[in-house]
Structure 1
Amino acid sequence: MRHTPLFLVSLMLLYTTPATAQASSIQIQGSDQTQTITCQGDTLLIAGERNTAAVQGHCAEIRVEGADNNLSFEHADRLTVKGPRQRIRGGTTQTLDLSGNANTLELALGRSTGPAKAHLKGANNHISVRLTSPADITLEGADNTVRWQGTAGAADPVITLRGARNRIVQD
C-alpha cells in the first residue's frame, strides 16, 4: 500500500478547497472628495462634508454621516443616513434608516422575502420612494414629506406616523 505524505495531502486540500470571499470595508472620510466605487458585498462609510460618491454594484451596507454629501448607488442591503443636507439618489435598498434634517432621498425600497423597512426621523426631509415589495415605513419628526409609488404587485405600505406636519403622498 502506498502512502501519500501528509504535506502533499495538505497541499492538495489547500488547492481544492473553495476560497471564502471576505467582504471588505471601504471608507471615504474628510471633505470635498469625489470617488467612483465598486462594491462587491462590501460595507461603505462616507463620513465628512461635501463628498460625492458614485457606487456601482452591491453593498452589504452603506453609511453616510456628516453634512452635504452626495451619493448615488445601485444596490445596498442597508442604507443608513445621518446628518443634515445629504442628497441620496439610488437604486434599491432593503432597509433604510434616516436621521437628520433637510435631506433629499430618491430610491427604491424592496426585498425578496418579508417587508422592506424604512425608519425616517428628523425635520424637513424629502423622500421619494418606489416600493418593489411590501414595506413598513415609520416617519417621526416634523415637516417631512414622503412621496411613494408602488410597482405592479406591491402592496400599499404599512405607515406609522409620529410628530407634526408630516406628509405622506402616494404618486
Structure 2
Amino acid sequence: MAKKQEKPQYIRSIQNRKARFEFHILDSVVAGIELLGSEVKSVRLGKASLNESFAIIHHGEVWLENMQITPYEHNTLDKLEAKRSRRLLLHREEIRKLQTKISEKGLTLIPLKAFFTDRGILKIEIALAKGKKLYDKRETIKARDTERQMQQIKKSY
C-alpha cells in the first residue's frame, strides 16, 4: 500500500505586524490583487510576506511594491520574481480619493493584511497611514507593557 499523502496546511491570512507599530492608521480599504496562478498557490501555503511593502499610485492605477511571494516549487513553466510589482484592483473613485489624501504631507499607503474570502479570492487590506515618530513608538510600548501588567494582576486575583 502507498503512504497517505499529507494535505498541505493552507492559511487564511497574512498580517503585516510592524505596520501598526510603525504608522498611525487613518483609513483602510480592501482591494483585490492581480496574481498569476502559481503565486496564488504559494500564498495559500503561507510563503508570502508583507513586511517592508507599500503601495503607490501610478497613472491612475494602484501598485503594490516589495511584497515577497516565494515562487511555487512545483511550477516548471515560468519563473517569477519574488518582489515584482503587483497591481491592486480598485474602483476609479476609490483611487481618486486615495490620490487626494496621499497628496497631503507625510501620508502613505501600506498593506495591513492579505486574506482569502469565502469564495477563495485573495484580497489586500491597504491603509492610509502617517509615520510615527520615535517618541510615539515609545508611548506605544509603554501602553502595551502597562496593559500586560494589568492583565497579570487581574489573573492573580
Question: What TM-score do you get using the length of structure 1 for normalisation?
Answer: 0.19
Higher relative contact order (CA 8 A, sep 6+): 2
Greater helix proportion: 2
Question: What TM-score do you get using the length of structure 2 for normalisation?
Answer: 0.21
Greater strand proportion: 1
